[in-house]
């Protein structure tokens, strides 16, 4: 079987720019090349919608894989925390490679994704309940740093999940900029 070649797709996003929103159609898997992103879910509260951050990801991390694997819509939203460049594994690229795997592996991955979706929903609900009762998630790295007499590393602080008021998405404002010498997909 001949190997199909694909063109490298890289996009850049400004700090605060929405990369995609929960419920959007899946267009690819994103690999963070530089910068940081926040993966979050927006939940309704009596005081209005709040963004519940699930995680922040930096260089070498990937996101957007769940919808690609189980052919569903986006399960969470993603926002650039800093200026961020991502490499996009398009749907066509991914499906081409997935077709080479045995079907039992693909089914196993889909089961794991289904379980992860349930866990993410439960985590977001638990974080929302904690926040509604004036409590915060405990970050064990805080206690370890305090016992050692040191400060909490900045990177650990960035990875701590947070709950904050929902912001208006800026998606579509620029939709990410193509990086020089690369092709940007139509999203």
Is pLDDT of 76 > 70?
yes
Domain locations in the chain? 10-137+151-178
Report how far apart, in Å, the C-alpha atoms of 77 and of each of 39, 40, 90, 180 are: 6, 5, 18, 26
Is pLDDT of 176 > 80?
no
Alpha helices in 9-90 (DSSP H): 65-70
Question: Sign of torsion, CA 140 144 149 152?
Answer: negative
How many Cα neighbours within 13 Å face the side chain of 111? Answer: 6
C-alpha to C-alpha distance for 141 and 109, rounded to whole angstroms:
31
Q: pLDDT-derived band of residue 87, with 50, 70 and 90 as boundaries?
A: very high
The fold adopted by the segment(s) 10-137+151-178 is Jelly Rolls (2.60.120)
CA-closest candidate to residue 86, choices 6, 27, 9, 31: 31
Report how far apart, in Å, the C-alpha atoms of 169 and of each of 17, 56, 123, 178 are: 8, 17, 22, 20
Tell me if the pTM is above 0.75.
no
Highest averaged pLDDT of the listed ranges 51-65, 86-100, 127-141, 145-159: 51-65
């Amino acid at each position: 079987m001949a190997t199909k070649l694909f063109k490298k797709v890289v996009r850049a996003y400004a700090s605060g720019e929405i990369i995609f929103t929960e419920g959007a159609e899946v267009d690819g898997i994103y690999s963070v090349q530089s910068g940081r992103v926040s993966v979050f879910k927006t939940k309704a509260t009596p005081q209005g919608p709040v963004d519940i951050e699930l995680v922040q990801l930096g260089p070498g991390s990937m996101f957007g894989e769940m919808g690609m694997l189980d052919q569903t819509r986006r399960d969470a939203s993603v926002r650039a925390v800093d200026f961020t460049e991502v490499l996009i594994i398009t749907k066509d690229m991914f499906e081409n490679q997935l077709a080479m795997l045995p079907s039992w592996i693909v089914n196993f991955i889909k089961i794991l994704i289904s379980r992860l979706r349930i866990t993410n929903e439960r985590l977001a609900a638990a974080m929302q309940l904690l926040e509604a009762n004036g409590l915060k998630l405990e970050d064990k790295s805080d206690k370890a740093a305090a016992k050692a007499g040191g400060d909490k590393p900045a990177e650990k602080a960035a990875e701590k999940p947070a709950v904050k008021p929902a912001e208006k998405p800026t998606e579509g404002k620029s939709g990410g900029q193509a990086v020089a010498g690369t092709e940007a997909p139509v999203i």
